[in-house]
Structure 1
Amino acid sequence: MNLEEEMAALVEEFKTTGLTQKTFSAQKGIGYPKFNYWYRKLRDEQSRGATGFMPVRTQGSSLSAETVEVVYPNGVKLRVPGGDLSLLSNLIKLY
């Protein structure tokens, strides 16, 4: 069993205990920062899929005449011309 599988099993066990992360990680002999990191990492992967990509919704059939809105997970919204795919690509890579 690799580290990710081991931590995933611990996170699933944690969810059934009703304990705080600090208490659970102390009982398992794991540092709280390490457990919290894996908890958040696995939660985020599950919420957006294992690939790390977010779905893109488009309105209309052509990007060239449309404005594209990029919404980052932290809530920041950017509106850019859809025809400028290079700019759009660079904005996505920023996150």
Structure 2
Amino acid sequence: MNLQEEMSSLVEEYKSSGLTQKSFSEQKGIGFHKFNYWYRKLRDEQSRGATGFMPVRTQGSSLPAETVEVVYPNGVKLRVPGGDLSLLSNLIKLY
């Protein structure tokens, strides 16, 4: 079991425990801040969807129709040919 799976399991256990995050993390021998980080991280992933993909918004652009712009959550923007689906797939998987 990797760390993300382990923390996901603990977060689910916490949700049904009725305890505060501080009490739960103390009982499990985990630092409060570490547990809180994983709780927020997993909650945010669930709110975006299990895949971690972010919604794509289309808007008027000066880019040619055959160009696709990929914008990562950290602000990095990439412009790639829209017809190259394997390249787009690989770029999405990189993040």
The TM-score, its normalising length taken from structure 2, stands at 0.62
Q: Residue 5 of structure 1 corresponds to which residue in structure 2? A: 5
Question: What stretches of structure 1 move > 4 A for 4+ residues in a row?
Answer: 88-93
Cα offset, 1:56, TM superposition: 2.3
Q: Residue 49 of structure 2 corresponds to which residue in structure 1? A: 49
Q: Which runs of 5+ in 1 are unaligned?
A: 67-81
- How many residues align? The count is 73
Cα offset, 1:48, TM superposition: 0.6
Partner SS state of residue 16, structure 2: helix
Q: What amino acid is the match of 2:23?
A: T
Question: 2 CA distance for matches of 1:36 and 1:84?
Answer: 41
Q: Which runs of 5+ in 2 are unaligned?
A: 77-95
Cα offset, 1:17, TM superposition: 1.1
Cα offset, 1:30, TM superposition: 0.3
Shifted more, 44-53 versus 22-31: the winner is 44-53
Q: Residue 25 of structure 1 corresponds to which residue in structure 2? A: 25
Q: Residue 75 of structure 2 corresponds to which residue in structure 1? A: 94
The TM-score, its normalising length taken from structure 1, stands at 0.62
Q: What amino acid is the match of 1:83?
A: S
CA shift in 2, pair 1:46/1:22, >3 Å: same
Partner SS state of residue 30, structure 2: coil
CA shift in 2, pair 1:10/1:89, >3 Å: same
Work out the percentage of aligned pairs sharing the same amino acid: 66
